[in-house]
Amino acid sequence: MSSSSSSPDIVSILENSKELDRLRKDQEDVLSEINKLHKKLQTTPEVVEKPGDNSLAKLKMLYTQAKDLSDNEANLSTMLISQLDVLLPPGPQGQPRRRLGTEQKRKRVKTESDISRLTPSMRNQLEACASLKGEQVAARVTPRNADKDEWFVVKVIHFDKELKEFEVLDEEPGDDEDSSGQRQYKLPMGNIIPFPKSNDPSSAQDFPPGKHVLAVYPGTTALYKATVVQGHRRRKTDDYVLEFDDDEEDGSLPQRTVPFHTVVPLPEGHRQ
């Protein structure tokens, strides 16, 4: 391709690159405003009840702006890729080198900017996951080809924001494990449910009677499906009274008292 025909294309690519930088700066500005409003609402949530307050409407507008900017960035990135494909030389000799270079560049860009380009809600979710280091959580550690979900209490060692993956430690493996020592696992975010904090009863949900939950069976470090017998606790620090599935004694399910901070919502699609 001659320089006269490619020059306008290169100018267009450079202009689109500048526009991409502008979009990212605008996203950072909007994200900063969202974080400020989040902090305000966390500090003084009662402000939304005051007449004339527009905090929630402003938050919705900021989220809409963030989504529009993100969509524009994605469209512009797609356009830039198409423009570069036109300029790249064809042929089998250049193909492997170009593919390798593109993959390396894509991997580097993802590593450097993936987290910064996340939506505020996803970023907050990742930060919350990272803050679980050292905490005990409920984890689905299901053996391969198993026909049911198995949940255990494990300790979070590390959370990788880029891979969105937890590294956890099963401190008390059961008697049926191959090894009697502690075992480590790497699990995706969807396999982890944080427990309510024992020193913060307000972090616990108030499950109504009849609600299905996952709960630590008394005297074990395993979680099983259970049904709430007594909900709407008078105090947030009160324990739950539950009936565990498959826990029959003399033909009936015994009611067991379980601390509030060892009960979590039953995940959708849970396999018994």
Question: Tell me, what's the pLDDT at 207?
Answer: 87
Residue 230: C-alpha distances to residues 68, 144, 214, 227, 252 (Å): 46, 36, 15, 9, 17
Q: By C-alpha distance, which of 82, 66, 73 is closest to 34?
A: 66
- Looking at the structure, give the CATH architecture of the domain made up of residues 201-265: Roll (2.30)
CA distance 158 to 170: 13
Buried b (16+ CB within 10 A) or exposed e, 1-35: eeeeeeeeeeeebeeeeeebeebbebbeebbebbe
Q: Which helix (H) or strand (E) holds 103?
A: helix 94-113
* 8 A C-beta contact, residue 96 and residue 10: no
CA distance 173 to 170: 6
How many whole angstroms separate alpha carbon 170 and alpha carbon 189? 16
pLDDT of residue 107: 44
Q: Check residue 213 and report its DSSP letter.
A: E
Residue-by-residue pLDDT tens, the chain, 272 positions: 444 444 667 877 888 788 888 888 888 888 888 888 888 888 888 877 888 888 888 888 888 888 888 888 887 777 777 777 767 665 444 433 333 344 444 444 444 445 555 677 777 888 888 889 999 999 998 765 567 778 999 999 999 988 889 999 988 766 554 555 688 999 999 899 999 988 887 778 888 899 999 999 999 999 999 999 976 556 666 788 999 998 987 788 999 999 989 999 998 877 76
Contact 98, 105 (CB under 8 A): no
pLDDT at 101: 40
Please state, in angstroms and rounded to a whole number, the distance separating the CA atoms of residues 126 and 134. 16
- Which residue from 250, 249, 132, 222 is spatially nearest to 258, judged by alpha carbons? 222
User: Could you give the residue range(s) of every CATH 1.10.287 domain in the chain?
Assistant: 3-120
Residue type, 76: L
Domain spanning 3-120, CATH class: mainly alpha
Q: For position 118, what pLDDT does the model report?
A: 63
Residue 184 DSSP label: E
Looking at domain 131-194, its CATH class is mainly beta
